[in-house]
Amino acid sequence: MLPLASVVDRLARIRPDDPAFLGDHGTFSWSDYASRSDHLAAHLVRIGLAPGDRVGIVLPDGPGVHAAFIGCEKACVVVVGIGPRAGEEEILHLLRLAGARALIARPVHRGCEMAALATELGIAHFVPILGQLDPSEPALREAGLLTDRERSLGTDDLFLLNSTSGTTGLPKCVTHHQARWHHFHELAVQAGEMTGDDVFMSGLPAPFGFGLWTAHFTPTLLGAPTVLMERFEAGAMLRAIENHRVTVLAAVSTQFIMMLNAPELANVDLSSLRVLFTGGEAVPYERAAEFEERTGASVLQFYGSNETGALCGTTTRDRREKRLRTAGRVIESMQVRLYDDAGNDVTGTGEGQPACRGPLTSRGYFGDEAANSKLFTEDGWMLTGDIARIDADGYLSVIGRTADFIIRGGKNISGPAVEDAVSSHPSVALSAAVAMPD
């Protein structure tokens, strides 16, 4: 199991001119990927960062953010991955929580002067990036190439901190080691029957779990190109699928619904597409079935969280009712259980909160023992915060959240079920059910 930086360097040696990334920024080869990450790594070493130091990265989606991640890996420092839509308060909170010693970002992010923000936090080094980590960048021009390859992270080392969604207050930093993503990659390849001949497209921000595997890990481990957009726009994504003959698409449910609603859908050729991986929210059956009918692609998903990794998933071998009505068959190695409100194991007897313990889990939250105590059961099982049931064939269905279950007249009502029903109406483009006191 090679660290991802070593995989990038190997592809640069054997297939230097083949595309690693395609899209808004032109073609970015495996050689570009390796050399630009080398330049950044050399700069980070030159300015005095020590192994294990944390480095905040706030960059828009594109080849540059992935090269920045690999550059940090080569310099043996830990990425603090912050989504490109984060505002100033969230950025300040995450960098402070992680104890970042450097910040890599555009000079101005959403109206915020990032050098001033770094100064406010006492961050020693601000690395302004204008493009896609080209060696001619002012900040990298004097760096040269990294030559000390003894300094690198292993697959079991902490390599990334990213943020939770913040549904229980300010976001927390989740710890990531590469081994969990290598394990997940193997499951994803089996689920989607993917090979190095595929062309990937990911509409998800790079620092988050869904974006990590669909754009950073799996395409690279397969040696396949990935199409990226700096900012999601449904019509542009449809045109990119046609232009680049994309075969594997990754998009959350809201994104693929917007694609179905886009006028461009009637005029593009999507015949290359064979798999859509979706998730991040309940998959609406009617719209997912419509996507399959319109494109001929299979709609698949993995269910889990940033913290737990995947607990279950669907595959191209599942029939449509299982693919779209459930979150898929439980992954055996994740040892999934269901717990009731009293903490009793109710697996096989009813509904409950899923918990797991296996190779895909993170190691919890960084610097937040109080949050970790709520994330794990007393005997070490990681909780999800959802409510689910598992059928006799081992397929898991998510029916709500522990925090916002709707109770009407003594009856539990699932928010996702309400959304699914409302979304089936032809006049409804998007829907969201929200629990509130009454």
Residue 284 vs residues 169, 209, 299, 324, 421: alpha-carbon distances, Å? 28, 21, 11, 8, 8
pLDDT the model gives residue 148: 62
Per-residue pLDDT of the chain (438 residues; tens, 9 = 90+): 899 999 999 999 999 999 999 998 899 999 999 999 999 999 999 999 999 999 999 999 999 999 999 999 999 999 999 999 999 999 999 999 999 999 999 999 999 999 999 999 999 999 999 999 998 888 888 777 776 666 778 999 999 999 986 555 678 999 999 999 999 999 999 999 999 999 999 999 999 999 999 999 999 999 999 999 999 999 999 999 999 999 999 999 999 999 999 999 999 999 999 999 998 777 889 999 999 999 999 999 999 999 999 999 999 999 999 999 999 999 999 999 999 988 889 998 889 999 999 999 999 999 999 999 999 998 899 999 889 999 999 999 998 776 655 666 545 566 766 777 787 788 887 788 876 776
pLDDT the model gives residue 414: 63
State pLDDT tens for residues 67-85: 999 999 999 999 999 999 9
SS3 letters across 262-310: CHHHHHCCCCCCCEEEECCCCCCHHHHHHHHHHHCCEEEEEEEECCCEE
Residue 334 vs residues 107, 311, 360, 396, 400: alpha-carbon distances, Å? 42, 6, 7, 13, 21
State pLDDT tens for residues 135-149: 888 888 877 777 666
Please tell me the pTM assigned to this model.
0.91
